[in-house]
DNA sequence: GGCACCCGTCAAAGATTTCTGACACATCTC
DNA sequence: GAGATGTGTCAGAAATCTTTGACGGGTGCC
């Protein structure tokens, strides 16, 4: 609603999101965090997974902008990192994919350049295609 | 939108879609096919990729229901396999992921554990979450 | 001091996925 | 026949992702 500015997602960004979500464990992590946020160790116990592993998965999810970690201080002084799910909204359609593919860095025939491109930097915004006409 | 029956996508099915799309080459393939359908060898030439490789990618995409291959007979008798992009529509949100995660087979705690992913069967069905009561 | 809990990281195994170079088959044309 | 095109498959290398078992640091409590 107020969020989701709208569809200016880089190919690279979308790629990160898709490959991040394309993993059973990571899906499960998102599910668990959606039900209730919590910190790494607890989450690890909840879904039965080693801390190092979970850590790495969370990192991947955060890099894709799907979850965010915040360092919080418990009452007894323990520092714990809580993770929350980002309210992302991505609409996947052939067009969206095609458009994203056009801005892929790496092996692309990108529009002219190959310098680690136009990643909006910190985009964790959802992708929304505004309806438009596409002569094809 | 007559299509998009509405969100009855298996976790496994969604997982396939996401991991299929989470690959630069495959995104590019979808993009190329969206612009104009064509057959394997030609496509391979167009995007500069070995036939065996492309074949495998197409298979992955088709398994996810994102493209469909049809065997057609050219005028000179050559049999060629044309590929088309399926007009899929998937909406990715934390909820969709969570719900999908609940029906994952494999290492899941799935409610009932079904033998194999049961998709709508039909290739071009998208996943749509209909807004419903969900207070978190 | 011990113990519990929290946070992180590293290096090496293990399992997948990706990619390549053959090979098989078919048809039509020269 | 040899050559062009098309289809598909297979086995093995190469690269990547996943997973594990140490380690390191920190705090507070008995």
Q: C1' nearest to CA of B75: which nucleotide?
A: C28
Tell me the CATH architecture of domain B12-85.
Orthogonal Bundle (1.10)
pLDDT tens, position by position, A92-120: 999 999 999 999 987 544 444 444 433 33
User: Residues in chain A, how many?
Assistant: 136
Contact status, residue A95 vs residue A129, Cβ threshold 8 Å? yes
pLDDT tens, position by position, B97-123: 999 999 998 764 444 444 443 333 344
Cβ B81 to strand D below 7 Å: yes
How far does Cα A31 stand from its chain's mean position? 14
- Domain borders along chain B are 12-85
pLDDT tens, position by position, B49-102: 999 999 999 999 999 999 999 999 988 889 999 999 999 999 999 999 999 999
- Listed as ranges, the nucleotides of chain C within 7 A of a protein C-beta are 5-11, 17-22, 26-29
pLDDT, mean of residues B39-43: 97
Residue of chain A whose alpha carbon sits nearest to that of B110: A28
Structure tokens at B10: 């298996």
CB contact under 8 A, B94 and A86: yes
* Res B12: pLDDT: 95
Highest CATH level, class, for A11-85: mainly alpha
Query: Whole-number Å distance, CA A51 to C1' D27?
Result: 19
pLDDT at A82 over 70: yes
- 3-state class percentages of chain B: helix first, strand second, coil last, to nearest 5: 40, 15, 45
């Amino acid at each position: 609603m107020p969020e989701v500015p709208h569809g200016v997602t880089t190919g690279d960004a979308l790629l990160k999101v898709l490959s991040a979500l394309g993993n059973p464990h990571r899906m499960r992590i998102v599910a668990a965090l959606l039900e209730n946020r919590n910190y790494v160790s607890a989450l690890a116990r909840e879904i039965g997974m080693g801390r190092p592993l979970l850590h790495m998965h969370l990192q991947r999810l955060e890099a894709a902008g799907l979850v965010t970690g915040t360092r919080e201080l418990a009452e007894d002084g323990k520092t714990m990192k809580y993770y929350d799910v980002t309210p992302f909204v991505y609409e996947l359609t052939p067009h969206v994919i095609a458009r994203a593919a056009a801005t892929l860095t790496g092996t692309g025939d990108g529009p002219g350049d190959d310098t680690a491109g136009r990643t909006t930097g910190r985009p964790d915004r959802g992708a929304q295609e505004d309806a438009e006409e596409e002569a094809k």
